[in-house]
Amino acid sequence: MKILIGVTGGIAAYKSLELTRLFIKAGHEVQVVMTSGAKEFIQPLSFQALSGNPVRDSLFDTNQEMGMGHIELARWADQIVIAPASAETLAKLRMGRADDLLTTLVVATDKPIMLAPAMNKVMWSNAATQENVAILQQRGFEILQPASGEQACGDVGEGRMPEPQVIFDAVNQFQVQQVKNQQACLELRRFWKGKTLLVTAGPTYEAIDPVRFIGNRSSGKMGFAIAEVAAKVGAKVTLIAGPVNLSTPVKVECLNVRSAQQMFEAVQQHVASADVFISAAAVADFRVAEPAAQKLKKQAGSDEMVLTLTKNPDIVAWVAQQDTKPFVVGFAAETENVLEYARTKLRSKNLDMICANQVGENLGFEQDSNALTLITEQQEKALPSSTKTQQATDLLRFISDLV
């Protein structure tokens, strides 16, 4: 495997020498790219001696650029590992900056990128840094959790670069998973290519007045992951999304709605052409019967406000009741008796399949991971906790075996 190691400015840069040695010892080919900040901490000659290749450090090196160095490196690598990844580097990558060789080749590559952050504990916990990390993860960067311990500045806490062996093992595990995912994609493509998938995702917001609404904590990440994976394996995907803060996956048509009624109407318009319908949205069961035209005010002498609620349409049940219907998959997000309630919902709504998952504090909603149990009348399969992308892949594979 061809490994490109990016080294940025930080005292942890010396650890990347050991990381380079581990990859070389394991038989991988290594090239190293250093930023100007990294060279303040360690000399390029050390990496050259270990890797057997010249260190690349300049975007404007005449010899390198005659061969379009950054494009060449971007195509050459099978895996890019940036260790240490400084706070500045995280910020640059989040913005898509390309002002040195390392950031330019990151923008120019479609290869997997793993980041090993290293910085002071306060810098790591800074809101901007954490937001940068979250955005990069959404874009597909693999980001290792920093280690905790004594730091060069004398502080003790989280922010140390993971040890080289930890990074080495993480790359190996990632590559194994990549191979498995590629094999899974090939299998999935055989079924899903050319199929039409309709997915709902996110919450619905039911207006109380022009300012307030009834809603829930669904982030939409599960539904978006399903749409993204399905599109990658060749399905024609329409995604109907409630109010979320997520980017539309590539090759997915996304329709944005706000209320349950709007989502219902969008489903009615598109379900006839669907081969499979997955209702991953957390649709509000009730809405305010008569939302106020103006902002409601507190009433003097009254400590209560009474809202009259009326049922929203049951979207997934409506789809399942149609004479000509797609394969219908529902979701049961429960805080207790999860499997029992899911089985009841499967039968009462005449669904072909249901995905049960526990929600609550740090579970399900607003999380990057999930643990679904896939249920039909004949089968039941519990998926181990994993990323929502992996859950989506396993779900689509399960469906392909059924239909």
Residues recognised as catalytic: 153
Rounded distance between C-alpha atoms, residue 294 and residue 279, angstroms: 33
Q: Residue 294: which residues within 8 A CB-CB, separation 6 or more? A: 209, 210
- Please, how many CA atoms are within 13 Å of residue 155, restricted to the half-sphere of its CB? 12
The string over 242-253, giving b where at least 16 C-beta atoms fall within 10 Å of a residue's C-beta and e elsewhere, is bbbebeebeebe
Q: Any bridge partners for residue 380, and if so which?
A: 375
Rounded distance between C-alpha atoms, residue 229 and residue 140, angstroms: 13
Give the C-alpha distances (Å, rounded to integers) separating 312 from 37, 263, 265, 309, 316: 58, 11, 12, 9, 12
- Please, how many CA atoms are within 13 Å of residue 244, restricted to the half-sphere of its CB? 26
Tokens of 156: 């003790």
Cα 258 to chain centroid, rounded: 22
Residue showing tokens 């991988």: 28
The string over 69-105, giving b where at least 16 C-beta atoms fall within 10 Å of a residue's C-beta and e elsewhere, is bbeebbeebebbbbbbbbbbbbebbbeeebebbbbbb
